[in-house]
Each structure stands twice: as structure tokens, then as C-alpha cells.
Structure 1
């Protein structure tokens, strides 16, 4: 059976090339508003607080994992209330390689692994819009096992340590996304797939993107009335059914144009448009450039701007 989540993850091409070990002691607070790329944090010991734009404050404890696919404005702080004098601009690098927030002399109240991951697809922004705005995973044993492996690897000085750590972080990222639909109430693809009736609709869209779907036809697939389906889908996904279908069709079209160098007419047919001209108008409106120009100017396998060496790597919560 086709798995829509696998399709989205495969197109996103997630990787985690940049991470730091951090710790905090006493009262501290750090804020970032200029990140933009996907941010993740795994609590290895202790606890701290997280404030993300559009979400209530979260108290993070040992074993928790947080992923913000598009981190724009967020802050982390100690469990102890922190004031203006406790704001950290630059962390202290300890001899053991940890980046310390707060007091360098006191034993840590929290140890964490955090950093910026990469969605290597040029369509990352479009595809990330299908994910929850924030994924907070707690109490997932598989994730805890992966976090322990990551923690052990960060402390050891084994051969190929960096390669192993990158692979573990990639798996950790995918497992967090996969678990997020079970543990996070934020709208997005994962939450929608947890609804059995809506999952059927998502699979139909992904199996047959070329079909001329209507809201009524999609509601029928879910065995729901049109009005109930429309409201239920929008509540779970965070966007209307036809908006999701358009977003998915455009992601497929960009992939076909970039990787297979298919003709405009062929791409139009494969993503549900009756003519190349109709598709070109829709693509230009949605993407911002005509499909022919996109295909010409986008090399195969081009990486996302958020690669190592970009602002996503140089900027850090610690």
C-alpha cells in the first residue's frame, strides 16, 4: 500500500549535519529569531523550557524530543525563572566540548543535544508546510533508544564518529516525524494520517494525483458528508483539501521537472491538468516561475540553501 508519509520524507531528503552538545546550570535564557531552518532538540538529562511562536510554553524533560520544521522565533530557558540579566548571548565552551548556558561552575541541571537539520530538497519550504509547525515527542521507547545511541556516540571518540552520528541523527529525525502524529496535536500531514477516514483520502490523492478530484468525490472516499469532510480535513491538516492536493501536485511537478526532465505536457498530464497551458498558469502562480524556466534553471540534485556553511549552521540556539 502506498505510504504518503514515506513519499513526503523521500522528497524532503532529511539530513542532520550539524549538532552540538549543550548543558545548562542555574538561571539562563537564550532567544533566536533569525534561524528559519529546521531546529531539533533532544533532552538527554534534566529539563528546561521551550517557547515557540504560536505555541504554549513546553516544559521539556529527559527523553523528550522537539522538532520545529521552520524555526522562526523561539526561546529556551532554565526551569528556574530567568530574568533579563540571565539572557545568554554567547555560551561558554567547556573543556569536555559542551556549550554551557548559565553558570560554568555549577553542576548542570540539563544536558541536551541540539542543532539544525537540513531538508535537502529544493522544495523544502513547500513540503515542510505539510508537516506540523512543532513536533514534541514524549514517551516513545524507540526514540529513547536512538537518543541513547546518539548520546553515547557524542561522548565517545570512536573511529568514524561524525559519520555514525550523522546517520543516527537522520534516523532520529525521521522517527520523530513518524511518532509526531501520535503525540502532537498540531495540524499537519501526520495528524491527518492518524484519522482513519482522512488517511484513505490522502492515500487516494497520492495514488492518483492525475485524477480530476472534487471535494465531493474526496468526501465520498472518506464516507463523510461534504461539509463534515471539509471541516474535519481542514482542522486536521491546517489547510483545505484542494489546497493540499494543489501543494502535493506542485511538489510532484517540481520533482518531475528537476529529476526526470519530463516535458511540460507530460508533467501536466501526470499531475492532473488537461493541458500544458493550464498547468503552466497554475505552476507559475504557485511557484513563482514558469515550469520551463524552473526546469532549465534548477540542476538535478541541487541542495537546499540550508546546507552546511549557510546561516542555518552558523546560527545556533547555543
Structure 2
């Protein structure tokens, strides 16, 4: 198994970045809208934008290359542009980004791209818990160089309307999401959760062990040695950084692996239980139902029915 735990977890929770909107406008403007997605991204390609949403005491000023990450927010207001006269009101639901950005001028227009993040049920709480209500990734930071490049390429594809653009847009949306997470890990203090744990130099070797052998019965002493810490210090640091004790993190990892196997493979429940370190089918099924809310077989049937209905 790869030592890249971020990629592995992204695969487990089936994370996808998707373009959901965008506009180019000159002069003063304002855009207000209800947020229907759990996790929304707003990226400024050019111009300067003032963002306000529920939970903020004051607006956030976004510069070119900046991305705002809105986690479980209910509304957003964006303002920008200069000049005389009342601001043009933009209604997000009425904007087709493909049509709105064709012919946009980076030197003159304010250009904003909107995106959403789709994740499966297993990852929803995991990812939302790991991010703050509002995050601000600054495009001027050294860690955001690749983010700026990905944003520029995404804009080129959306505005260029070339053959194969739909495929390219999907790929660049994925890259933008990845670069947002990478840059945010370097720029901000994360709340306790798996993203913060992945960024912790002392805990990273421990997570590598658990991800490499999730079915092994890891002892606290063994994990503490991997972190080069005492048992007590390690247990305290892990809980503080990850938000849960090591055994709870390992159990959640096992359940995500189980959901992927039940969703994508034809593995028998008994074989899966043994692979993930459970002493019996019933012990695995009990743990699965406690975490997921339904039995392994019922979960497999439901997700496959939902996939075939799409």
C-alpha cells in the first residue's frame, strides 16, 4: 500500500472537485446566493472580491489566486468591481460558467469560479470535521504556486470551449481541490482531525504503519516508538491532533476500507472481517453497523442499487 495517506483517504471517500459556476464581469457587482452544497470552493482568477458568509465577524478580501473554502455554510455574498453606478446583481443559479467566461479578459474583468466537493457518506463527516467553517487559501503564498497554475489552466479550458474541454475541466477541478488542500495544510492551523494528523511530522510515521497494515492489532507502545515518543505523550498528542485516540482512528480507517470493498468488490464478509483484524464475522458486522448504521450486506445492496439507478 502506498505511503501517501492523503491520496488513499481521498480514494476511500471518493472525493471529487466539480465546477459549479463562474462569471466574468466589469464594473461594480454583487452576487448573493444560498449554499446547497456541504463543501463549496470560490476561486478568484482575476480582480478582487469581498466575501461574506454566515459565521464571519467581518468580510474576507480575496485577491487573484485566492480560494475560499466554505464548510457547511448556508449563504454567501460576493462583492467586487470599481466604478460609478449601482452594482450589477448576479444570480448564481442563472449563470452558465461555460457561456459566461467565453471571451473573458484577465486584464479587465473580475473573474470568479465556483466549485463544489462531492464525497461519499463514509467521508462526509470525516472531511467536514477536518476543515474549519471558512478557510482562506492565499494564492501569493509559496505553497500555492501549483494552485495558481491549476486555476489558470482550469480557466483556459472553461473559457476556451475547445474540443475535449469537459474532460479537461473535470481533471483540473480535481487538481485544484488537491492543491487547495495542500496549500491549506501549509498556511493555516487546522482543527483536530485526520488532515491535521497527516500534516504532523511526529504522527506521520504512525499513520503510515496503520494504513499499511490496518488489520494488525497495533499496540500503543509500538505506535509510540514509531513516533519516537513516550506512551503517555504519544497518546495525548494523537488525541489532540487527530481528535480521537489511535484505536478510534484505526477503527474508522477499517470501516472506510470495508465500505470501499463492499461497494466495489465481491469480497465475502468473512474474508473481509479477517483481513481487517476482526475475530469473527459477527464482531465485524457489529462494528460496521455501529459505525455505518446498517449491516455490511445491507450496505452493499443499497449502494449498488443507488449506483445502478444513476
Superposed CA deviations along residues 254-290 of structure 1, whole A, max 9, x for unmatched, are: 1122222222221112222122111111111110001
Q: In structure 2, the residue corresponding to 1:66 is in which secondary structure?
A: strand
Partner of 1:102: none
Partner of 1:254: 259
For residues 294-305 of structure 1, what are the structure 2 equivalents within 5 Å?
294-299=299-304, 302=307
Greater alpha carbon shift after TM alignment, 88-97 vs 186-195: 88-97
Which structure 1 segments of 5+ residues have no match? Answer: 100-106, 308-318
Deviation at 1:109, TM superposition (A): 7.8
Distance in 2 (alpha carbons) for counterparts of 1:19 and 1:71: 16
Distance in 1 (alpha carbons) for counterparts of 2:97 and 2:38: 29
Q: Kindly report the root-mean-square deviation, in angstroms, between the aligned alpha carbons of the 2 structures.
A: 3.5
Change (3 A) 1:98 1:284: same
Q: In structure 2, the residue corresponding to 1:196 is in which secondary structure?
A: coil
For residues 17-36 of structure 1, what are the structure 2 equivalents within 5 Å?
17-23=18-24, 26=28, 28=30, 30-33=32-35, 35-36=36-37
Write 1 or 2 for the structure with the bigger share of helix: 2
Greater alpha carbon shift after TM alignment, 161-170 vs 124-133: 124-133
Distance in 2 (alpha carbons) for counterparts of 1:212 and 1:54: 42
Partner of 1:71: 72
Preserved contact between residue 51 and residue 79 of structure 2 (Cα < 8 Å): no
Q: Does 1:43 align with 2:44?
A: yes
Distance in 1 (alpha carbons) for counterparts of 2:185 and 2:289: 32
TM-score (norm 1): 0.77
Q: Does 1:168 align with 2:172?
A: yes
Greater alpha carbon shift after TM alignment, 285-294 vs 56-65: 56-65
Greater alpha carbon shift after TM alignment, 132-141 vs 252-261: 132-141
Deviation at 1:87, TM superposition (A): 12
Distance in 1 (alpha carbons) for counterparts of 2:17 and 2:198: 25
Aligned residue pair count = 291
Partner of 1:311: none
Distance in 2 (alpha carbons) for counterparts of 1:285 and 1:148: 45
TM-score (norm 2): 0.78
Distance in 1 (alpha carbons) for counterparts of 2:300 and 2:278: 18
Q: In structure 2, the residue corresponding to 1:282 is in which secondary structure?
A: helix
